[in-house]
Amino acid sequence: QVQLVESGGGLVQPGGSLRLSCSASGFTLENYDIGWFRQAPGKEREGISCISSSDASTNYGSSVKGRFTISRDNAKTTVVLQMNSLKPEDTAVYYCKTLTVCTDRMMTVADDYWGPGTQVTVSS
């Protein structure tokens, strides 16, 4: 079983920023498409962004486009989600996952294991 660890969540005011990180243990992260998902209490989990391993192309859901940026760090060991202009509706637990499909219309997870994620709370 591959292992991913999310970090960087916290409490911010509307309009603020957070930087989430996704790191791998047991495999080479740069060889995989990586996606970010989020889930708020009582709501369905949704895919919000992904980055391709083949051409480094990036994709964003309409709810976060223009506010969030996904990227790999210089060492290619971490995938970062820079979250700007945060809104209360961004409040959720955020997860990263390896993907088999990363396009502008589809994000398909490589397995069904979900770790603890990292909590993001946007509130005044």
Contact predicate 86/15, CB 8 Å? yes
Residue 64 token pair: 């976060």
Residues 6+ apart with CB under 8 A from 122: 12, 13, 14, 16, 86, 87, 88, 89, 90, 91
pLDDT reported for residue 99: 96
Contact predicate 80/21, CB 8 Å? yes
Q: Give the pLDDT confidence of 52-109 residue by residue, as tens digits.
A: 998 889 999 999 999 999 999 878 889 999 999 999 999 999 999 999 999 989 999 9
From residue 46, give the alpha-carbon distance in Å to each of 14, 25, 96: 21, 24, 11
pLDDT reported for residue 29: 87
d(CA 49, CA 34) in angstroms, rounded, equals: 9
